[in-house]
Amino acid sequence: MRLLLLQLNPVIGDLPGNADRIRQGVVSAGPGSADLVLTPELALTGYPPRDLLLFRAFIGKVRQAAEELAADLEGYPPVLAGAALPNPSPVGRPLQNVALLLRDGKVVRSFGKTLLPTYDVFDEDRYFEPSRGPQVLELAGTKMGISICEDIWNDTDFWNQKRYHSDPIQELVAAGARCLVNISASPFTAGKQLLREKMLSGIARKYRIPLVYVNQVGGNDDLVFDGRSCAFSATGGLTARAAPFAEDRLAVEIAGETPGEVHPDDFTPESEIWHALVLGTRDYVRKSGFRQVLLGLSGGIDSSLVAAIAAGALGRENVLGVLMPSPFSSGGSVADARALAGNLGIRTAELPIRGIMGAFEETLAGEFAGMPRDITEENLQARIRGTLLMALSNKFGSLLLSTGNKSEIAVGYCTLYGDMNGALAVIADVPKTMVYRIARWLNARGPAPVIPEAVFQKAPSAELRPDQTDQDTLPPYDLLDEILRHHIEEHESAAEIVARGFDPAVVYRVAHLVKGAEFKRRQAPPGIKVTDRAFGTGWRMPLAARAWDLPPGT
């Protein structure tokens, strides 16, 4: 039994294009290349299609695309293609998330998804009616158990807590499956592939049958899919793995222990996150129809790293770095930004903001008469810069990247309509300490360091008033990031974090800042998710709410 796994990078909504990706994958492998070809989950629509699914006409076009694809592939091996179709019952949610079997020129059968993730970034109960009962496909004398993504994530032995009442994999095995197939669209987070492989290997070993897993690849808005489709033998051994963060095809022979191709990979967090951000940025920009990007270069570590990611994603010729010094900018910052741009080979523009600052202050002088300078004037500088960047974006048709990191976005150390401006917040889910780690990793990777050493050495600063540093306002970043991880990724309250031994004053202040910044994050650009809990679609907080997580006695 030979399977061909197509690890595809679909464009959301691009039904003809996505069908073409499948078609080309099958045709170029040839008529006799496999007994069955597998695509990722929802390969025709791309994952996640979100509310495109609510358009009945869109679903009609999905069905049509599947039928045309089946007809085009007559004479080739059967294909199991991910799609969304109407729920045939008049009761229940409107759709089903299915794997369609295309064979002999026709759509001959549909296998439905049973477990519908509705947590974090996932909303599948919004759209899909669950399938019920095991679905076995007999092909070339082998009974294959077909499952879709989440169906394989509820193993009784692997998890302490189970979100669902059934285990579709157990049911498939009980129904006689001698091989497990899972088509997925499983988003990247750092370290997730090791978890996937451990879980998948355990399931193969537990049931003593081979298991094949095909994953989507590519960036779709806030989600990056890392690919890494893989196969396991009946003893749980990894027998094949496709490339990380790139389209790939993987041929898998599921009889016996014959090892297939195992693509080399690097599971260190810095490497994984770097590659995820590069792919996520490239795909967001290109799938949005852009070729060029711009960003503000402050000479700090955040914008330096984002510039390097952008150059890696799109080519240095497609990146413009904009220096916008104010009277509060240090000479070092401008020099560091220029040096970084030189190292990367990207173009720069320099637009000092002193004149515009003066014009705003003059216009506002009457209203502000007699009032002291405060955060208003700091925000004003950030907003002038954000407006200049958008003017360049509009005039030259290039997409603006914002450069804020997760730590500062968490505590609101950023200006809405200012440095938060942008179509994509590249490192919005990367904590500040990880920003430094990735930058170090990048410099060490060679051939030559990219980010000037001075950028690492100076104290982080917004440079919005004289001699300002981030640590005037915030706890040290290593401490802040640890508190934030407990609070954001683990949903621990301040009291729970204090119970871990952290300073109560710091913890309650951080929790207070996080809550106070919800209104900014609601209007933030999408960021690229790399942790277990990113702000954005997986973080849905009320705005006009009372704080409940208060120090004892308040």
Q: Which residues are catalytic?
A: 41, 113, 149
Prior bond of 48 cis (ω within 30°): yes
How far, in Å, CA of 151 to CA of 168, rounded? 6
Asked whether 407 and 434 are in contact (CB, 8 A), the reply is: no
Compute the least distance from the CB of residue 273 to a copy of itself, in Å. 20
Asked whether 360 and 380 are in contact (CB, 8 A), the reply is: yes
Compute the least distance from the CB of residue 1 to a copy of itself, in Å. 35
Compute the least distance from the CB of residue 116 to a copy of itself, in Å. 8
Compute the least distance from the CB of residue 179 to a copy of itself, in Å. 28
How far, in Å, CA of 334 to CA of 325, rounded? 7
Asked whether 143 and 137 are in contact (CB, 8 A), the reply is: yes
Nearer to a copy of itself, 77 or 386 (CB): 386
Compute the least distance from the CB of residue 491 to a copy of itself, in Å. 5
How far, in Å, CA of 164 to CA of 116, rounded? 9
Nearer to a copy of itself, 254 or 409 (CB): 409
Number of C-beta neighbours around residue 156 at 10 A:
10
Helix (H, G, I), strand (E, B) or coil at 172: helix
Nearer to a copy of itself, 288 or 473 (CB): 288
Compute the least distance from the CB of residue 461 to a copy of itself, in Å. 20
Nearer to a copy of itself, 399 or 434 (CB): 399
Which residues, 6+ apart, have CB-to-CB distance to 540 below 8 Å? none
How far, in Å, CA of 239 to CA of 260, rounded? 5
Asked whether 415 and 386 are in contact (CB, 8 A), the reply is: yes
Hey, what are 250's tokens?
A: 């993987």
Which residues, 6+ apart, have CB-to-CB distance to 388 below 8 Å? 322, 324, 351, 353, 356
Compute the least distance from the CB of residue 324 to a copy of itself, in Å. 9
Selection from 199, 119, 204, 106 nearest residue 163 by Cα? 119
Nearer to a copy of itself, 189 or 220 (CB): 220
Nearer to a copy of itself, 101 or 353 (CB): 353
Compute the least distance from the CB of residue 22 to a copy of itself, in Å. 16
How far, in Å, CA of 94 to CA of 127, rounded? 6
Nearer to a copy of itself, 15 or 252 (CB): 15
Alpha helices in 186-268 (DSSP H): 192-207
Which residues, 6+ apart, have CB-to-CB distance to 372 below 8 Å? none
**DSSP bridge pairs for 348:** 321
Asked whether 309 and 346 are in contact (CB, 8 A), the reply is: no
Asked whether 417 and 250 are in contact (CB, 8 A), the reply is: no
Burial of 366 by CB count in 10 Å (0-12 exposed, 13-18 middle, 19+ buried)?
A: exposed
Asked whether 283 and 219 are in contact (CB, 8 A), the reply is: yes
Asked whether 226 and 215 are in contact (CB, 8 A), the reply is: yes
Nearer to a copy of itself, 197 or 221 (CB): 221
- Return phi, psi of residue 233, to 5°: -80, 175
Selection from 30, 29, 37 nearest residue 5 by Cα? 37
Nearer to a copy of itself, 83 or 380 (CB): 380
Selection from 93, 95, 90 nearest residue 60 by Cα? 95
How far, in Å, CA of 352 to CA of 373, rounded? 21
Asked whether 434 and 428 are in contact (CB, 8 A), the reply is: no
Compute the least distance from the CB of residue 172 to a copy of itself, in Å. 20
Compute the least distance from the CB of residue 353 to a copy of itself, in Å. 7
Nearer to a copy of itself, 181 or 356 (CB): 356
